[in-house]
Amino acid sequence: MVAAAGTGRFVTKWYSSTVDHASVSSLAAWESFYVIVGSSAAALTGLQFVVMALIAETRRRGARETVDAFGTPTILHFAFVLLLASILTAPWPTSSSAAIAIGACGVFGVGYVCIVSRRTRRQTAYQPVLEDWIWHIALPLVAYAALTAAAFALRRYALTALFVVGAASLLLLFVGIHNAWDSVTYIIFDQPQGPERE
């Protein structure tokens, strides 16, 4: 900080000299989009918890491995959308900082989808069909890989990269909606009646 001559006020030179105003402006343009998407993800996460509580009341037993393969990832996709909305609306001084956070989300997401794929193959309560592999594995993998790629491109191709991040966020949101609905309809209509709990 340096004192402004004759005013007694301090001016922060570090902040004004390191802020990438073009990047901040690009990120700010997306604020309304991420407020909408983030709010939707938060509401749907809460709704998924309500659905799980209602399913518990149907007195059907569920396999832990099946929930880990099909239920938990849905919550995580909604949580990632909420996290991305928070990252993209944070007051970053440069786009590099936001790119690191987005890239970390993408890499973690790719790793998590690999874990989900292994859990899906190991669980025995439900035999996945092609649609399950597309919606539970392939599309989330595409979304998280796109986030990783967008993070690397954000500094040089900000406009394109931000559209990719927006598309990946929406894809994860729609995947979560589809998978939540798919799980509920399976439990209500297709799951064999298990023994009642004591």
- The rounded distance, in Å, linking the Cα atoms of 120 and 46 is 24
Q: Is residue 146 part of a domain?
A: yes
| Cα dihedral 101, 152, 168, 94 sign | positive
| Distance from C-alpha of 185 to C-alpha of 106, rounded to nearest angstrom | 30
Which residue range forms the structural domain that includes residue 91? 21-190
The residues of the chain scoring below 50 in pLDDT are 1, 10-17, 19, 21, 196-198
Q: What is the pLDDT of residue 14?
A: 40
Domain count within the chain: 1
Q: How far apart are CA 91 and CA 172, in angstroms?
A: 24
Distance between CA atoms of 198 and 180, rounded to whole angstroms? 28
What 3 state SS string does the chain have? CEECCCCCCEECHHHHHHCCHHHHHHHHCCHHHHHHHHHHHHHHHHHHHHHHHHHHHCCCCCCHHHHHHHHHHHHHHHHHHHHHHHHHHCCCCCHHHHHHHHHHHHHHHHHHHHHHHHHHHHCCCCCCCHHHHHHHHHHHHHHHHHHHHHHHHCCCCHHHHHHHHHHHHHHHHHHHHHHHHHHHHHHHHHCCCCCCCC
Tell me the CA distances in angstroms from 40 to 43, 80, 95, 187, 193, one per residue in order: 5, 12, 25, 24, 33
Q: Is residue 66 in a domain?
A: yes
The span from the CA of 45 to the CA of 80, in Å, is 11
Does residue 171 fall inside a structural domain? yes
pLDDT per residue as tens digits for the range 132-159: 999 999 999 999 999 999 999 988 998 8
